[in-house]
Amino acid sequence: MSTFSYQQLFTFAERVFLALGCSEADATLATETLLSADLRGVDSHGVARLSGYVRLWEAGRINARPRVGITHETPSTAVVDGDGGLGLVVGPKAMRIAMQKAAQVGTGWVSVKNSNHFGIAGYHAMLGLAQDMIGIAMTNASPLVAPTYSLDRLLGTNPIAVAVPAGEQPDFVLDMATTTAANGKLEIAQRKNLPIPEGWAQDAAGNPSTDANAVKNGGALQPLGGATGSHKGYGLGAVVDIFSAVLSGANYGPWVPPFVAFLQPPTDPVGQGLGHFFGAMRVDAFRPADEFKQHMDKWITTFREAKAVEGKQVLIPGDPERQMAAHRLIEGIPLLDAVVQDLEKTGAKFSVKL
Amino acid sequence: MSTFSYQQLFTFAERVFLALGCSEADATLATETLLSADLRGVDSHGVARLSGYVRLWEAGRINARPRVGITHETPSTAVVDGDGGLGLVVGPKAMRIAMQKAAQVGTGWVSVKNSNHFGIAGYHAMLGLAQDMIGIAMTNASPLVAPTYSLDRLLGTNPIAVAVPAGEQPDFVLDMATTTAANGKLEIAQRKNLPIPEGWAQDAAGNPSTDANAVKNGGALQPLGGATGSHKGYGLGAVVDIFSAVLSGANYGPWVPPFVAFLQPPTDPVGQGLGHFFGAMRVDAFRPADEFKQHMDKWITTFREAKAVEGKQVLIPGDPERQMAAHRLIEGIPLLDAVVQDLEKTGAKFSVKL
């Protein structure tokens, strides 16, 4: 384990994106999006994935110079074509379109096709906060999840993020996969040779499994609710898939292209690339922003000060990630040795040093 | 157990609502909303609750002649004041406002204050389907749910419904509480003297409990994900509360007025009544409706035909409720004897016979 400053990782990743052919503005934007995951402690979605994006680019599956544009719109909606670009770039651009529409008619809703993985959903949802907007972000993802009763993997971990501005209190930021656990947690258990809790995964025959290798060996991740009924998580993941891809014309369900370059995308696509969905709601489209934020402060303090189980505190969604970001901005971002080596190898392809 | 035709229960409930002083149009609307639950098999939210609404009216907590109106709006948003009316009436009226806005600018979003319980969320979300709109409905509810680590009950079962139009396939209708199990399921286990599965509830000390009386005895319902991590269900329930009440100016969290008349509402309200949130998105605000519906058909058939666990089939959200409604429209709606007696007693107050 070594620790790197945010600035050091930023410079490195930005230079790699530039080497792929990204414009300066896009390289900066992609880096900011990617590293927001490392800052917030979502290590699975941060710089550790840089080599994955590079391999997709090498496989000709990422366009470093996308012309991101609107293909259809109304005053409050748009479909955006990501032109095969990095989701890290397409995502924020589409969210900004949602925010422009919100500025004009109260809310904006953008469904995106022809994109790639966009990092953490929370980053995009949070873009509206500075303008007193509630932000919403979702994306579909490579199929690893079996709907209730299914043996087939038909959904991704399909996250939902909702960011709500507060006043004196820190903002409310929910960012959650619609599965019980992210695949990254299984990988950690694999490395440590530990069993996983029931409700996370099923084996190839559809039985609940506590084997960390279950998904690898033909099983699947279970939707949120796993052990006590996964139909709700399945329903939520389905809504994310429909909003992100059936509305936009991206691939959905089992047709979502895999993130890893060594797996080929399906040869019979039902749309273009993968899909995202973004929403922005001006809070003053409902009530004066000051009034709203005062009540959010009251909501937040009420929940935070609730009587808690011995030794615990009731948290507000976003609390742990915000504290982690504050810490890592100062103390640096720790990376596993395997990740460091992978970054060095990736940088070497373009003569970029970590 | 006796069985009643839909028409018989409709006439009965409508006459009771008329006796409360509802206008003819409102009595019909309230009845249709209420009975949609019985038809769809959500027995806890249907005619069995009629006496509860009547008791709230007797306690002066429901206005039978509400002037439901917009207090604030933009082209794509509105805040609606329910004027203390039945949620069964306020809900559909607010959803229609969302749909009118969607007709004009692509989407419409309405947050409602000063309302009461609105029956099943799915009914409201489904109103947009006939106009090729995606419908969304949420509501907050009496606090019975403890956030993760909390001993206090701060949230209701806060349901989310999303209805998506399909083409030749039946529509997709997700309607789910953000708890692992509805309180009604605990009541059934109480009557049968059965334990409940882990993940449904916690006892007064915050420990996971399999006692069906746990909530009654000072415990709480657990958010969705219960046994394997309730923070996601807590986050979703929180979003429902914020969209329904902090946006509109209704009561939120522990201030949501209880549905039962024998419990007084908090004496220090933070808003008016309880809150709902409705959304309508025209699918052709994103892509041509025919194209969208063809892809929804493909989505639905792909999931329905997935390889399934022995003896099971992958269901589409809304399948069981639609089949139940088709059955009950013809075969009638079965009611427990206790419910029938309760209805007869309620009717007798107004000389209305079942």
- Cα A274 to its chain centre, rounded Å, is 13
Residues 241-280 of B with CB under 8 A from A: 241-242, 246-249, 252-254, 270-271
CB contact under 8 A, A174 and B200: no
Nearest alpha-carbon partner for B278 in B98, B117, B100: B98
Query: A289 at the B interface (CB within 8 A)?
Result: no
Look at residue B226 in the predicted model and tell me its pLDDT. Answer: 78
Q: How confident is the model at residue A298 (pLDDT cuts 50, 70, 90)?
A: very high
Look at residue A189 in the predicted model and tell me its pLDDT. Answer: 86
What's the pTM value of the predicted model, to 2 decimals? 0.98
User: A119-133, A298-312, B178-192: lowest mean pLDDT where?
Assistant: B178-192
Look at residue A205 in the predicted model and tell me its pLDDT. Answer: 93
Contacts of B223 (CB under 8 A, 6+ apart): B145, B146, B147, B148, B155, B178, B179, B180, B230, B231, B232, B233, B234, B236, B237
CB contact under 8 A, B282 and A154: no
Strands (E), B39-149: 69-74, 77-81, 107-115, 133-139
Whole-angstrom distance, CA of residue B261 vs CA of residue B264: 7
Q: How confident is the model at residue A198 (pLDDT cuts 50, 70, 90)?
A: confident
Contact B320, B170 (CB under 8 A): no
CB neighbours (10 Å) of residue B265? 16
Q: What is the distance in angstroms between the Cα of A12 and the nearest Cα belonging to chain B?
A: 34
For residue A184, pLDDT beyond 80: no
CB contact under 8 A, B241 and A299: yes
Strands (E), chain A: 2-4, 69-74, 77-81, 107-115, 133-139, 160-164, 172-176, 201-202, 208-209, 220-221, 274-282, 333-335
pLDDT tens, N- to C-terminus, chain B (354 residues): 899 999 999 999 999 999 999 999 999 999 999 999 999 999 989 999 999 999 999 999 999 999 999 999 999 999 999 999 999 999 999 999 999 999 999 999 999 999 999 999 999 999 999 999 999 999 999 999 999 999 999 999 999 999 999 999 999 999 999 999 887 788 878 878 899 998 899 999 999 999 999 998 999 999 998 777 799 999 999 999 999 999 999 999 999 999 888 899 999 999 999 999 999 999 999 999 999 999 999 999 999 999 999 999 999 999 999 999 999 999 999 999 999 999 999 999 999 999
CB contact under 8 A, B238 and A174: yes
Look at residue A105 in the predicted model and tell me its pLDDT. Answer: 98
Residue of chain B nearest A294, judged by CA positions: B246
Percent of chain A with pLDDT over 90: 92
- Tokens encoding A11: 């410079």
Nearest alpha-carbon partner for B223 in B175, B156, B272: B156
Task: Identify the bridge partners of residue B137 per DSSP, sorted by sequence position.
Answer: B161, B278
Q: What H or E segment, with its residue span, contains residue B3? A: strand B2-4
Summarize pLDDT for A5-52 with one digit per residue, the tens: 999 999 999 999 999 999 999 999 999 999 999 999 999 899 999 999
Find the length of chain A: 354
| CA-based torsion, B139, A244, B280, B299: positive or negative | negative
Interface test with B, best of A81, A132, A256, A299 (most B CBs within 10 A): A299
Q: By three-state DSSP, how is residue B337 classified?
A: helix
Concatenate the DSSP letters of all residues of A100-137 into one string: HHHHHHSEEEEEEEEE---S-HHHHHHTTGGGTEEEEE
Summarize pLDDT for A228-255 with one digit per residue, the tens: 779 999 999 999 999 999 999 999 999 9
Mean pLDDT of all residues in A320-329: 98
Whole-angstrom distance, CA of residue A23 vs CA of residue A17: 9
Summarize pLDDT for A211-234 with one digit per residue, the tens: 999 998 999 999 998 777 799 999
Look at residue B255 in the predicted model and tell me its pLDDT. Answer: 98
CA dist list (Å): B61 to A33, A87, B35, B85: 49, 50, 22, 9
Q: What H or E segment, with its residue span, contains residue A294? A: helix A289-304
Q: Give me the helix-helix angle, A6-20 and A50-58, nearest 10°.
A: 0
Biggest alpha carbon–alpha carbon distance for chain B: 55
